């Protein structure tokens, strides 16, 4: 097994382009889809426009730790939404607000929630102020009461609360893309098994004292390690170069990545059992990888999906559970308990696919 594993790394050293290109692609895709360039001082920029007395609203809105509201003209907002440069813009009115929406964006939902809260609170204060002689005093009184409340209600979600933080979207994209592109790396490297069976080197190895399971293990472990390296590099690049520096639950993250890679390597084996020619695999691989990523929420969060069939299908996709568990571990720090269920699914998925895959491969041969 060790010899087969070392051989694969020697081959990687001779032709590392594929793996490097998938790492680069992951970074490029996260940059494009996640849009990490739009943040200002760690805050997500929201563009607003409006006429009249809107400056006070802007100041209130900019008290946020998450969002940075910037004014542009109405014409600019309309033009940018029309051309797709902005997904949405906020229109501020003296006593109200509305959104100009071009395309659906999950981020807009959380922005809207935040704006609504700010408006609601301020309007309540304004109404109360109308009923007293000294509006400034009542405001101070209310602020003081809020700073030292009689009761403190601490809310905690049993499951993740989607997109309460703008960074959630960026993490979603980074995790999704990393898990998506690693599928390609693994599938492409597993194709080596078929190539070796075709060019005769596989038979040569089988005729040696090395056992067949050791040969399989050498290949599978190589794909696993390669996948781990790829995901690791991407995560480290984003952590140290692009400021994705949330505190993470290290062990659950490692265990989740391992379980996910096991599931994908097993799925690759199943595909090898189904397809007997490299050309067939080259056709199947992108369909399976992209289809799985689309359904499993790698390209967009499943919270944005309302179609019942799509949601049902997503439940059979390992990438869904990989994203879910990694978000729990890397974003919400929910500990081991939160990742156990997805990991259990990934392991079950892996065992089933591996069993069927190896069975099919050996049956084809006999």
Partner 1 sequence: MLETELLQKKFKDQLAVDGINFYMEKGESIGLLGPNGAGKSTTISMISSLIKPTTGDIRLNGKSVVKNPQLIREVLGVVPQEIALYEELSAYENLKFFGRIYKLRGKELEKKIHSVLNLVGLQERQKDLVKNYSGGMQRRINIAVALLHEPEILIMDEPTVGIDPQSRSYILDMVRQLNEERGMTVLYTSHYMEEVEKLCDRIYIMDHGKIIASGTKEELKSVLSNEETILVDMNPISKELMQTLEEDDEIIQVNEIDKGMKLIVPKGSNKLTSIFHQTEAFGVQVTNVNVQVPTLEDVFLHLTGRTLRD
Minimum Å gap between C-beta 206 and partner 1 is: 7
User: Token digits for 82?
Assistant: 């029309």
Q: Which stretch binds partner 1 (CB under 8 A): 66-74, 197-205, 296-304, 326-334?
A: 197-205
Closest CA to 337 of 218, 255, 252, 227: 252
> For residue 221, what are the CA distances in angstroms to 67, 186, 257, 265, 356?
44, 11, 14, 9, 18
3-state SS assignment for residue 208: coil
Report the residue number, 3 or 282, with the smaller CB distance to partner 1. 3
Report the residue number, 209 or 308, with the smaller CB distance to partner 1. 209
Under the criterion CB under 8 A, does residue 75 sit at the interface with partner 1?
A: no
Please name the residue that has the structure tokens 């991407």.
234
Q: How far apart are CA 362 and CA 280, in angstroms?
A: 18
> For residue 119, what are the CA distances in angstroms to 64, 163, 293?
13, 20, 38
∠ at Cα 322 (184, 169), nearest 5°? 95
Tell me the number of residues near partner 1 by CB under 8 A.
20
> For residue 157, what are the CA distances in angstroms to 251, 293, 302, 332, 338?
22, 26, 18, 10, 12
Of 161, 199, 279, 282, which one interacts with partner 1 (CB under 8 A)?
199
Q: How far apart are CA 275 and CA 356, in angstroms?
A: 13
Q: Which stretch binds partner 1 (CB under 8 A): 10-18, 158-166, 307-315, 348-356?
A: 10-18
What crossing angle do the helices spanning 17-29 and 166-199 adopt, rounded to 10°? 160
Q: Which stretch binds partner 1 (CB under 8 A): 6-14, 69-77, 181-189, 308-316?
A: 6-14
Under the criterion CB under 8 A, does residue 366 sit at the interface with partner 1?
A: yes
Minimum Å gap between C-beta 10 and partner 1 is: 6
Could you say which residues in the range 201-230 bind partner 1, by CB under 8 A? 201, 203-210
Minimum Å gap between C-beta 213 and partner 1 is: 14
Under the criterion CB under 8 A, does residue 359 sit at the interface with partner 1?
A: no
Encoded one letter per residue, x for contact with partner 1 by CB under 8 A and - for no contact, window 31-50 reads --------------------
Q: Which helix (H) or strand (E) holds 227?
A: helix 212-241
Report the residue number, 11 or 315, with the smaller CB distance to partner 1. 11
3-state SS assignment for residue 65: coil
Minimum Å gap between C-beta 2 and partner 1 is: 8
Minimum Å gap between C-beta 219 and partner 1 is: 14
Report the residue number, 32 or 206, with the smaller CB distance to partner 1. 206
Closest CA to 292 of 219, 187, 191: 187
Report the residue number, 4 or 289, with the smaller CB distance to partner 1. 4
Under the criterion CB under 8 A, does residue 17 sit at the interface with partner 1?
A: no
Under the criterion CB under 8 A, does residue 4 sit at the interface with partner 1?
A: yes
Q: Are 82 and 102 in contact (CB under 8 A)?
A: yes
Of 14, 84, 287, 363, which one interacts with partner 1 (CB under 8 A)?
14
Minimum Å gap between C-beta 275 and partner 1 is: 20
First to last CA, the chain: 23
Under the criterion CB under 8 A, does residue 154 sit at the interface with partner 1?
A: no
Contacting positions for partner 1 (CB under 8 A) = 3-4, 6-7, 10-11, 14-15, 199-201, 203-210, 366
């Amino acid at each position: 097994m060790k010899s087969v594993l070392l051989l694969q790394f020697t081959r990687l050293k001779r032709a590392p382009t594929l793996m490097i290109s998938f790492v680069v692609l992951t970074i490029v895709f996260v940059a494009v889809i996640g849009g990490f360039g739009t943040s200002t001082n760690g805050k997500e920029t929201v563009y607003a426009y409006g006429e009249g007395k809107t400056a006070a609203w802007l100041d209130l809105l900019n008290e946020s730790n998450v969002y940075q509201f910037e004014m542009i003209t109405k014409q600019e907002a309309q033009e940018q939404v029309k051309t797709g440069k902005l997904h949405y813009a906020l229109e501020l009115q003296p006593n109200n607000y509305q959104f100009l929406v071009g395309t659906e964006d999950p981020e807009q939902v959380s922005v809207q929630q935040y704006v609504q809260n700010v408006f609601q609170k301020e309007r309540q204060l304004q109404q109360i102020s109308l009923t007293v002689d000294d509006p400034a005093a009542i405001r101070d009184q209310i602020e003081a009461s809020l700073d030292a409340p009689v009761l403190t209600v601490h809310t905690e979600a049993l499951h993740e609360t989607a997109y309460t933080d703008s960074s959630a979207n960026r993490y979603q994209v980074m995790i999704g893309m990393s898990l998506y592109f690693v599928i390609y790396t693994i599938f492409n490297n597993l194709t080596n098994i078929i190539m070796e069976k075709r060019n005769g080197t596989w038979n040569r190895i089988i005729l040696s004292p090395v056992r067949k399971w050791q040969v399989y293990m050498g290949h599978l472990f190589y794909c696993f390690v390669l996948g781990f390296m790829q995901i690791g590099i991407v995560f480290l690049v984003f952590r140290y170069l692009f400021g994705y520096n949330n505190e993470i639950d290290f062990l659950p993250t490692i265990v989740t990545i391992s379980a996910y890679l096991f599931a994908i390597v097993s799925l690759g084996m199943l595909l090898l059992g189904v397809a007997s020619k490299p050309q067939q695999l080259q056709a199947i691989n992108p369909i399976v990888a992209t289809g799985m990523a689309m359904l499993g929420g790698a390209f967009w969060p499943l919270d944005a999906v309302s179609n019942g069939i799509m949601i049902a299908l997503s439940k059979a996709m390992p990438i869904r559970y990989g994203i879910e568990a990694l978000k729990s571990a890397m974003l919400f720090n929910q500990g081991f308990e939160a990742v156990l269920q997805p990991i259990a699914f990934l392991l079950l998925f892996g065992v089933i696919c591996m069993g069927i895959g190896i069975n099919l491969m050996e049956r084809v041969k006999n």
